[in-house]
Amino acid sequence: PAVVEDEASRMAEVARENGALTVELARDEAHALRLASARRSAFAALARIRPTTILEDVTVPRSRLPDIVRFVERMAGEHGLQIATFGHFGDGNVHPTFLTDERDEAEMVKVEAAMEAIFAHTIELGGTITGEHGVGLAKKRFLPDQFGEASMALLRQVKRSLDPDGRLNPGKIFD
């Protein structure tokens, strides 16, 4: 428990040094439950701001969290977008959350450009394009950037050896 308290105090100190508007450490179990409830309510609160909410998922080394948060903020400004950032910072997991309107084609082009930049920067920081939500169809085109061609070739070989007829999840990882 002392190690956890020390780490929590240090995290709070770093947050304050970097301009956090509010920093709260749980005083007891009841307070911890209230803080956890607020965290769980974040997405629902954000979803009320704009018609479309797109939750992304990247992970960086914890030492690079300030870098990715600042980069997301910069992308929001450069592209004229609203992007909220929250996540599980203890393990480096960040959820850039785009508050947008999917009916606005011009805005969706900006969203896509910002997302691509965030994924590329995440990889540059030594991170991954997903932390907990998986790659999925939307991110599969970024896999070569993350893993490199040699790893992708190996993955293709494994897929062919296990699924020579291409019947299992066709088009999900490889076209």
Q: What is the chain's pLDDT, residue by residue, as a tens digit (175 residues)?
A: 788 888 888 888 988 998 888 888 888 999 999 988 988 888 889 899 999 999 999 999 999 999 999 999 999 999 999 999 988 878 899 999 999 999 999 999 999 999 999 999 999 999 999 888 878 888 899 999 999 999 999 999 999 999 999 999 898 888 8
Q: Where along the chain do its domains lie? A: 1-48
Reduce the secondary structure of the chain to three states and give it as a string: CHHHHHHHHHHHHHHHHCCCCCCCCCCCHHHHHHHHHHHHHHHHHHHCCCCEEEECCEECCHHHHHHHHHHHHHHHHHHCCEEEEEEEHHHCEEEEEEEECCCCHHHHHHHHHHHHHHHHHHHHCCCECCCCCCCHHHHHHHHHHHHCHHHHHHHHHHHHHHCCCCCCCCCCCCC
Decide: pTM greater than 0.95. no
